[in-house]
Amino acid sequence: MDFQNDLILRAAKGEPIERYPVWLMRQAGRILPEYKAVRGALSGFKELVETPERAAEVTIQPVDILGVDAAIIFSDILVVPEAMGLEYQMIEKKGPWFEKTIRSEEQLKYANVDFDVEDKLSYVTEAIRIANKELNGRVPLIGFAGAPWTIFCYMTEGQGSKTFSEARKILYTNPTLAHELLNRITNVTIKYLKAQIKAGVHIVQIFDSWAGILGDAQYAEFGLKYLDKIAKEITEVPVTLFAKGASNSNVKLADMNCQTIGIDWNTDIAETRKIVGENVTLQGNLDPCALYSSHKEIEGLTNEMLNSFESKRHIVNLGHGVYPDVNPEKVKTFIETVKNYEIKYK
């Protein structure tokens, strides 16, 4: 594939770059009025996810409107548990909700692995094909999946939670069940990421959004082990691993078969670089709330972050997804500041 702009791929691989690439987690959807218009013409979030032409359209909006250096396919991490047998609803202002949950061996029947992943999630691969056709090489397309631990949280808890105590309870009361479910999620996720790659994504990110609710030892056993399994299998494109809230584990992520690790905003980039060494790209990490400050302050905070980089191996992003009520003009200031920054490490 010939790209007009392949900065993110070069940065991921540690190749020379003329400036740092920038994109935002959750850039597709949420903040743009143009997204809300497309979504408003349909019955809701799920119809948008499952309609490849529309999903491709909102995938490209941030490239056209915000000028980011990569597109991320519009979908959700929850399509995997649904494909396995746990249907979800996306409830307005509340978030995801599953009617059934998995808390016993008997309920493992809602976590199937014996199905054709590519066929069942063909609405995602179709959206990838359409998005790439419309992008026509302007920027690379990012594929993604939830990490097994984060998917486990939703499959056992059945909804969002501040503590995910139902999910964590199982780690103590039935670790065998936990490992069985995590293994199943891992196997489906590997097939799913490979299907996305076959359909045309150029880099993949694995979101472990709830990594931070486990202690280090439990995260090693129930989280990292499965991330490692996935990373080992994905050899076709660069891999980004993001374990939000688990910065103690970043050194272990850096040793896995990945090119990039995501850094949340609580974690110091310069410190992380000292710990993980030079052979990995760091992605992040402006506080998403910084985008509520003035244009001038955003410029200052972004430059401060960029000045803390001591390597070319950076992809600029927020430390987590962009919040829904952020003004897109503020996002543009963030992006423009990164684009105007003169890189010291070529």
C-beta nearest to ligand CP3: residue: 29
Choosing from 52, 96, 148, 262, the residue that interacts with ligand CP3 (CB under 6 A) is 96
Say how far residue 145 (Cα) sits from the centre of its chain. 7
8 A C-beta contact, residue 7 and residue 22? no
**Bond before 327 cis per omega within 30 degrees:** no
**Is 69 a residue of the active site?**
no
The one catalytic residue in 76, 208, 228, 264 is: 76
The one catalytic residue in 30, 110, 123, 138 is: 30
8 A C-beta contact, residue 202 and residue 9? yes
> What span, in angstroms and rounded, lies between the C-alpha atoms of 83 and 112?
8
Binding mask 205-234 for ligand CP3 (x = CB under 6 A): --x-x-------------------------
**Cβ proximity to ligand CP3, 82 vs 312, nearer residue:** 82
Choosing from 9, 17, 19, 29, the residue that interacts with ligand CP3 (CB under 6 A) is 29
Under the phi-then-psi rule, with left for phi > 0, alpha for psi from -120 to 50, and beta for the rest, what region is 137? left
Q: Which region, judged by CB under 6 A, interacts with ligand CP3, from 2-10, 27-35, 101-109, 328-336?
A: 27-35
What is the bridge-based pairing of β-strands 260-262 and 203-208? unpaired
Residue in the structure block whose two tokens are 């503020």: 330
Q: Which region, judged by CB under 6 A, interacts with ligand CP3, from 63-71, 75-83, 107-115, 170-178?
A: 75-83
8 A C-beta contact, residue 274 and residue 254? no
The one catalytic residue in 154, 192, 219, 226 is: 154
**Is 129 a residue of the active site?**
no
Q: Which of 258, 93, 83, 294 is nearest to 188 (CA)?
A: 83
**Positions marked active-site:** 26, 30, 39, 76, 154
Residues that bind ligand CP3 (CB under 6 A): 25-30, 39, 45, 72, 74-78, 90, 95-96, 144, 160, 207, 209, 321
